[in-house]
Amino acid sequence: MRELEGRRLVIGVTGGVAAYKTAELVRLLVKAGADVHVVLTEAGARFVGAVTFQALSGNPVWTDLWDARMSNNMAHIDLTRGADAVLIAPASADVLAKLVHGLADDLLTTLCLARDCPLLVAPAMNRQMWEHPATVRNVAQLREDGVTVLGPDAGDQACGEVGMGRMLEPELLFEAVAARFQSKLLAGRKVVLTAGPTFEAIDPVRGITNSSSGKMGYALARACARAGAAEVVLVSGPTGLPAPWGVRRVDVKSALEMRDAVLAALPGADVFIGVAAVADYRPAQPAEHKIKKSGEALALTLAPNPDILAEVAARPDAPFCVGFAAESRELDAYAEGKRRAKKLPLLVGNLVQDGLGGDDNEVILYDDAGRHPLARAPKPAIAQRIVEHLAALLRARKG
């Protein structure tokens, strides 16, 4: 994914403890090939010094409207000329208010007025400041003015309180910025996905599960969000993964819960992608209390689970359904057999030894035109290729 390569980004840093997270964001952006220019406000410089941002960005850091290093003394104009975006992170309540009113009393607010590129803000402030009617009004106005507001998040705050107002984590801000520069192959589409394993309880302590990590499904959900999908709902079995940016995650444990969550999310969906390794069977009668060791053999009766993908694909109003098939041998025969049995326009086949649990995968896409092998690659890259193929099929279907 090279969408940030060569992009010129201006990162504004205002006063807030979250400024330390912006240092990591700058590192991520630079690593992805962006040309990052940091503008610190006076308050921002009290939290993280210019030297840190200079070292991380590899560019001079700007703080002063009257900086003599700019030969024409026009830092407020020159910094945004050719810029692909300005992101203010953290954005204090003060800077949001200034942006709403077009105030220009320092370098950052002045260059925001003089810019002709998109402006993104990542608010960070105490929860009461965030909930104050003035801030609520200001944020609504900024959105109306075309400013993209990223976050904030809820959680522990530096002041010791708990609530809305934490700046989004650097990885999520990175995703949001990168997504701006990606082609919007799924613009306007609603996508529902499943990912991860299911856990079928034997008793309150034990259960039947499998070693799906969720990495493939999460990578695909992230790729859909980056491709501009209007809504991405990820129904996830138990994994240790964070929800990707732009994705609404619904946590479930068992196949039955997964089925209910999928059906609840389905109205309005254009695409359904079943990546989850759903248990085909569950203990017919989970014990209410922990089963005690007896020294005797223990027999479990298993009941079949519903096939979520088959059920969705069989609906009269079925969305475009994409299945996965994990096999340990004879991939072509089994995968294509599953695709035909469930009447799927697209199925992604992989061998468990290639795809289960790891960071990379090697897959073959099966559709009505035949088989399309993809070379082994990290799961995010595979996910991007699947989205491109899916988008082409959706376009062809429409046309």
d(CA 364, CA 374) in angstroms, rounded, equals 6
Query: Is the preceding peptide bond at 380 cis, omega within 30 degrees of 0?
Result: no
**Residue 362 beta carbon to ligand PMT: minimum distance, rounded to whole angstroms:** 10
Near ligand PMT by CB under 6 A: residue from 6, 60, 155, 357: 357
Angle at 179 between CA 176 and CA 184, to 5 degrees: 145
Stretch that binds ligand PMT, among 75-83, 137-145, 269-277, 293-301 (CB under 6 A): 269-277
Stretch that binds ligand PMT, among 22-30, 144-152, 162-170, 273-281 (CB under 6 A): 273-281
Greatest CA span in the chain, whole angstroms?
87
Pairing verdict, β 271-274 and 320-327: parallel
Is residue 305 at the binding interface for ligand PMT, with CB under 6 A as the rule? yes
Active site residue 159: yes
Residue for token digits 């830092």?
75
Is the Cβ of residue 123 or residue 283 nearer to ligand PMT in the bound state?
Answer: 283
Binding residues for ligand PMT, total number by CB under 6 A:
28
CA torsion 253-257-258-260 (nearest 10°) is -160
Is residue 331 at the binding interface for ligand PMT, with CB under 6 A as the rule? no
Near ligand PMT by CB under 6 A: residue from 86, 225, 277, 313: 277
Near ligand PMT by CB under 6 A: residue from 278, 346, 391, 394: 278
**Residue 182 beta carbon to ligand PMT: minimum distance, rounded to whole angstroms:** 22
DSSP 229: B
- The alpha carbon dihedral of 381, 384, 386, 392 has a sign of negative
Cβ-closest position to ligand PMT: 274
Angle at 146 between CA 141 and CA 147, to 5 degrees: 80
d(CA 376, CA 362) in angstroms, rounded, equals 4
**Residue 395 beta carbon to ligand PMT: minimum distance, rounded to whole angstroms:** 23
Stretch that binds ligand PMT, among 7-15, 60-68, 88-96, 271-279 (CB under 6 A): 271-279
Near ligand PMT by CB under 6 A: residue from 18, 276, 331, 364: 276
Near ligand PMT by CB under 6 A: residue from 38, 324, 384, 391: 324
Torsions phi, psi for 273 (to 5 deg): -125, 120
Is residue 307 at the binding interface for ligand PMT, with CB under 6 A as the rule? yes
Between residue 129 and residue 188, which ones bind ligand PMT under the rule CB under 6 A?
Answer: none
> Can you name the residues that pair with 149 across neighbouring β-strands?
121
Q: Do residues 338 and 323 touch, judged by C-beta distance below 8 A?
A: yes
The SS3 assignment for 363 reads strand
By the criterion CB under 6 A, which residues form the site for ligand PMT? Answer: 194, 196, 212-217, 255, 274-278, 280, 305, 307-309, 323-326, 338, 350, 355-357
Return the active site residues.
Answer: 159
